[in-house]
Structure 1
Amino acid sequence: MFLTGYWLQVVLSWAVVAFATATVVVAVQKAQLAKDLRDVQDKIDIFEEWNGESRYRTKREDTIDYRLPTALVPTHYELYWHPDLETGSFTGQLRIRIQVVEETNQIILHSYLLNLTSVYVLNREVETFELEEERQFLIITMTEVLPVDATITLGIIFNGQMKDKLVGLYSSTYQNEAGATRTISTTKFEPTYARQAFPCFDEPALKATFAITVVHPSGAYHAVSNMQQTESNYLGDYTEAIFETSVSMSTYLVCIIVSDFASKSTTVKANGIGEDFSMQAYATSHQVDKIDFALEFGAAVTEYYIQYYKVPYPLTKLDMAAIPDFASGAMEHWGLVTYRETALLYDDSYSSTANKQSIAGTLAHEIVHQWFGNLVTMKWWNDIWLNEGFARFMQYKGVNAVHSDWGMIEQFQIVALQPVLVYDAKLSSHPIVQKVETPDEITAIFDTISYEKGGSVIRMLETLVGADKFEEAVTNYLVKYQFNNTETDDFLTEVDALVDDLDVKKLMLTWTEQMGYPVLNVSKVAAGFQITQQRFLSNPVSYEEAPEDSAYGYKWSVPITYTAEDGSEGSLIYDYNEDTVGIAFNADVQWVKLNVHQTGYYRVNYEESLWTLLIQELTSNPDRFDIADRAHLLNDAFALADASQLSYKVPLEMTAYLGQERDFVPWYVAADKLVSLHRSLMFSEGYVSYLSYARTLITGVYEEVGWTVDANNHLKNRLRVSILSAACALGVPDCLEQAAQRFNAFLQNPTSRPAPDLREIVYYYGTKQSTSQSNWEQLFQLFVDEDDASEKLKLMYGLSGVQNSQLLFKFLALAGNESIVRSQDYFTCVQYIAANPVGEPVVWEFYREQWPQLSARFSLNDRNLGRLIAQITANFRSSIKLEEVQQFFEKYPESGAGANSRLVAVETIKYNIEWLARNRADISDWLSGTASPLTKKNQL
Structure 2
Amino acid sequence: MSETAKPSDAYRLPTDVRPKHYDITVRTDLVKETFEGVVKIDLEVVRPTASIVLNAAANLVLTPASLSTPTVTQLAPIETSYDESTQRISYTFPQELPKDNKITLRIGFAAPLTGSMSGYYKSAWDKGIYSLTQFEPTKARRALPCWDEPLLKATFDVTLISRAGLVSLSNMPALATPAAPQAGDEALYAGVEAKEWVATKFETTPPMSTYLLAYANGPFAHLESSYKSPLSGKVRPLRIYTTPDLIHQGQFALDVKAKALPLYEQVFDVEFPLPKLDTLVASDFDSGAMENWGLITGRTNAYLLDPNNPDMRAKKQIAGGQSHEVAHMWFGNITTMAWWDNLYLKEGFATVMGQSIILDKIFPEWKVDSEFINNILDEALALDAKPSSHPIEVECPDANNVNQIFDALSYAKAASVLRMLSKYVGEDKFLQGASIYLKKHLYANSVSRDLWEAIGEATGIDIPNLMDNWVSKIGFPVLTVTDTETGIRVRQDRFFEDGPAKPEDNQTIWTVPLGLLTTSQPGQAIVNNEAVLSEREAEFRLDTSKPFKLNADTNGVFRVLYSPERLAAIATEAAKSDTLFTLNDRMGLINDAMALSKAGLLKVSAALNLVYNLREEKEFLVWSGISSNLGIVLSTWWENDHIVELLNSFRKQLFAPIVNKLGYQYSKAETADITQLRTLSITQAARGGDPVVVKELQDRFAKYIAGDKSAIPADLLTVTFHTAAVHGGAEGYEAIVKIYDHPDTPSVKTAAIRALGATPDSELMEKTFSMIRTRSRNQDVMYFFYGLNQNFKARKPLRAFFEKHYDEFVTRFEATFTLKRLVKGTYAGFSAEKDREQTEAFFKGKDTSRYDQGLAQALDGIKAKTAWIERSTSDAQEWLENWEKTSTKL
Q: Secondary structure at the match of 2:13?
A: coil
Which residue, out of 471, 494, 505, partners 1:535? 494
> Residue 912 in 1 paired to residue 865 in 2?
yes
What residue identity is the alignment partner of 1:855? Answer: V
The amino acid across from 1:282 in the alignment is: Y
Query: What displacement does 1:813 show?
Result: 1.2
Task: Summarize the Cα distance change of 1:325–1:647 in structure 2 as closer, same or farther, 3 Å threshold.
Answer: same
The yes-or-no answer on 1:637 pairing with 2:593 is yes
TM-aligned CA deviation for residue 672 of structure 1: 1.4
**Residues 835, 685 of structure 1: alpha-carbon distance in 2 compared, 3 angstrom cutoff:** closer
Query: What corresponds to 1:21 in structure 2?
Result: none
Change in CA separation of 1:464 and 1:656 when aligned onto 2, cut-off 3 Å:
same
Confirm or deny that 1:417 pairs with 2:377. Answer: yes
Alignment of 1:141-160 (within 5 A): 141-160=92-111
- The one-letter code matched in structure 1 to 2:702 is N
Mapped to 2, the partners of 1:938 and 1:445 lie a distance apart of 49
The one-character-per-residue Cα deviations of 1:271-317 (angstroms, maximum 9, x if unpaired) are 23462211111121122221211221210111111111111110100
Residues 774 and 647 from structure 1, CA distance in 2 versus in 1: closer, same or farther, beyond 3 angstroms?
Answer: closer
Q: Residue 205 of structure 1 corresponds to which residue in structure 2?
A: 151
Match of 2:120 in 1: 169
Aligned counterpart, 2:363: 403
Q: Corresponding residue for 1:492?
A: 452
For residue 645 of structure 1, give the secondary structure of its aligned residue in structure 2. coil
Match of 2:188 in 1: none
TM-score (norm 2): 0.94
Deviates more, 1:303-312 or 1:346-355: 346-355
Match of 2:714 in 1: 756
In structure 2, C-alpha distance between the alignment counterparts of 1:830 and 1:66, rounded to whole Å: 34
Q: CA deviation at 1:146?
A: 1.7
Change (3 A) 1:275 1:197: same
Q: What is the aligned partner in structure 1 of residue 806 from structure 2? A: 851
Counterparts in 2 of 1:822 and 1:350: CA distance versus 1, 3 Å = farther
Q: What code does the residue aligned with 1:431 have?
A: P
Deviation at 1:622, TM superposition (A): 5.4
Q: Which moved more, 1:661-670 or 1:563-572?
A: 563-572
Query: Which residue of 40, 48, 52 maps to 1:107?
Result: 52
Following superposition of structure 1 onto structure 2, how do residues 710-729 of structure 1 map, counting pairs within 5 Å? 710-712=667-669, 713-729=671-687
Q: CA shift at 1:575, angstroms?
A: 4.6
72, 87, 90: which is aligned to 2:32? 87
Report how far residue 246 of structure 1 moved. Answer: 0.9
- Contact 1:866–1:895 (CA<8 Å) still a contact in 2? no
Shift of 1:762: 0.7
Structure 1 pair 867–547 and aligned structure 2 pair: CA distance change class (3 A): farther
Q: How does 1:801-816 map to 2 (within 5 A)?
A: 801-816=758-773
Deviating more after overlay: 710-719 vs 916-925: 710-719
Q: Is the 8 A contact 2:572 2:613 kept in 1?
A: no
Superposition RMSD in Å: 2.0
Is the contact made by 2:495 and 2:501 (CA closer than 8 Å) also made in structure 1?
no
| Separation in structure 2 between the aligned mates of residue 430 and residue 937 of structure 1, nearest angstrom | 44
Q: CA 1:59 to 1:869, structure 2 compared with 1: closer, same or farther past 3 Å? A: farther
Q: Do the aligned partners of residues 60 and 509 (structure 1) sit closer, same or farther apart at CA in structure 2, a change above 3 Å counting? A: closer
Find 1:476's aligned residue among 436, 452, 467: 436
**Letter aligned with residue 211 of structure 1:** D
Q: Deviations over 1:691-713 (max 9, x none)?
A: 43332222322322321123242
CA-to-aligned-CA distance 1:345-404 (integer Å, 9 cap, x gap): 111345411001111011000000001100000000000000100000001222211111
Name the counterpart of 2:182. Answer: none
CA distance 1:927–1:484, change in 2 (3 Å): same
Relative to structure 1, the CA distance from residue 809 to residue 622 in structure 2 (aligned partners, 3 Å threshold; closer, same or farther) is: farther
Q: Say if 1:533 and 1:580, in contact at 8 Å, map to a contact too.
A: yes
Separation (CA, whole Å) in 2 of partners of 1:438 and 1:162: 27
Give CA-to-partner distance per residue, 1:22-46, whole Å, 9 cap, x none: xxxxxxxxxxxxxxxxxxxxxxx9x
2:215 and 2:843 mapped to 1: Cα distance?
Answer: 39
Matched ranges for 1:254-403 at <5 A: 254-273=213-232, 275-395=234-354, 396-403=356-363
Aligned to 2:852: 899
Q: CA deviation at 1:232?
A: 2.3
Structure 1: runs of 5+ lacking an equivalent: 1-44, 46-57, 176-180
Contact map agreement 1:275 1:312 (CA 8 A) in 2: no
In structure 2, C-alpha distance between the alignment counterparts of 1:581 and 1:809, rounded to whole Å = 58
Q: What secondary structure, in the 3-state scheme, does the structure 1 residue paired with 2:63 have?
A: strand
Alignment partner of 2:306: what SS?
coil
Q: CA 1:748/1:673 → structure 2, altered by over 3 Å: closer, same or farther?
A: same
- Once the two structures are superposed, residues 756-815 of structure 1 have per-residue CA deviations (whole angstroms, 9 ceiling, x without a partner) of 1011111101220113x2332232122112253221111112222211111111111122
**Do 2:159 and 2:199's aligned partners in 1 also have CA atoms closer than 8 Å?**
yes
Match of 1:65 among 10, 14, 34: 10
Q: How many angstroms apart in 2 are the aligned matches of 1:828 and 1:928?
A: 35
Deviation at 1:183, TM superposition (A): 1.7
Report the 3-state secondary structure (helix = DSSP H, G, I; strand = E; otherwise coil) of the residue aligned with 1:815: helix
The letter of the residue matching 1:516 is G
1:121-136 mapped onto 2 (5 Å cutoff): 121-122=67-68, 123=72, 124-136=75-87
Q: Which deviations, in whole Å up to 9, do the C-alpha atoms of 1:468-525 show, x marking residues without a partner?
A: 111111111111111000001100110112233x421012111001111001111111
SS at match of 1:187: strand
Q: Distance in 2 between matches of 1:586 and 1:788?
A: 56
Shift of 1:59: 8.7
Deviation at 1:875, TM superposition (A): 2.1
Cα distance between partner residues in 1 of 2:743 and 2:526: 57
- Aligned partner of 2:160 in structure 1 is 214
- Structure 1 residue 733: Cα displacement: 2.2
- Alignment partners' CA distance in 2, 1:60 and 1:455: 28
Whole-Å separation in 2 of the counterparts to 1:116 and 1:408: 49
Give distance in 2, aligned partners of 1:305 and 1:690: 45
Q: Is contact 2:782–2:821 with CA below 8 Å preserved after alignment? A: no
Compared CA separation, residues 715 and 498, structure 1 to 2 (3 A): same
Q: Which residue of 2 aligns with 1:223?
A: 168
Deviation at 1:438, TM superposition (A): 2.2
SS where residue 172 of structure 1 aligns? strand
Letter in structure 2 aligned against 1:475: S
- The offset of 1:574, in angstroms, is 3.6
Give the letter aligned to residue 582 of structure 1.
E
Alpha-carbon distance between aligned partners in 2 of 1:658 and 1:605, rounded to the nearest angstrom: 19
User: Taking structure 1 as reference, are residues 547 and 223 closer, same or farther at Cα in structure 2, changes over 3 Å only?
Assistant: farther
Residue matched to 1:5 = none
Quick one: distance in 1 between partners of 2:644 and 2:340? 47
Equivalent residue for 1:826, pick from 776, 781, 788: 781
User: Is contact 1:489-1:505 (8 Å) kept?
Assistant: yes
| 1:149, distance to aligned residue in structure 2 (A) | 2.2
- The alpha carbon displacement at 1:621 in A equals 3.9
Corresponding residue for residue 34 of structure 1: none
The whole-number CA distance in structure 1 between the counterparts of 2:879 and 2:749 is: 43
Amino acid across the alignment from 1:246: T
Match of 2:542 among 552, 576, 585: 585
Tell me the secondary structure at the aligned position of residue 896 of structure 1: coil
Measured in 2, the distance between the counterparts of 1:883 and 1:582 equals 45
1:796 and 1:349 map into 2 onto residues whose CA distance is 22
> Identity over the aligned pairs, expressed in percent?
28
Q: 1:846 to 1:622 in 2, by over 3 A?
A: farther
Paired residues in the alignment total: 862
Stretch moving more, 842-851 or 654-663? 654-663
Q: 2:791 aligns with which of 824, 830, 836?
A: 836
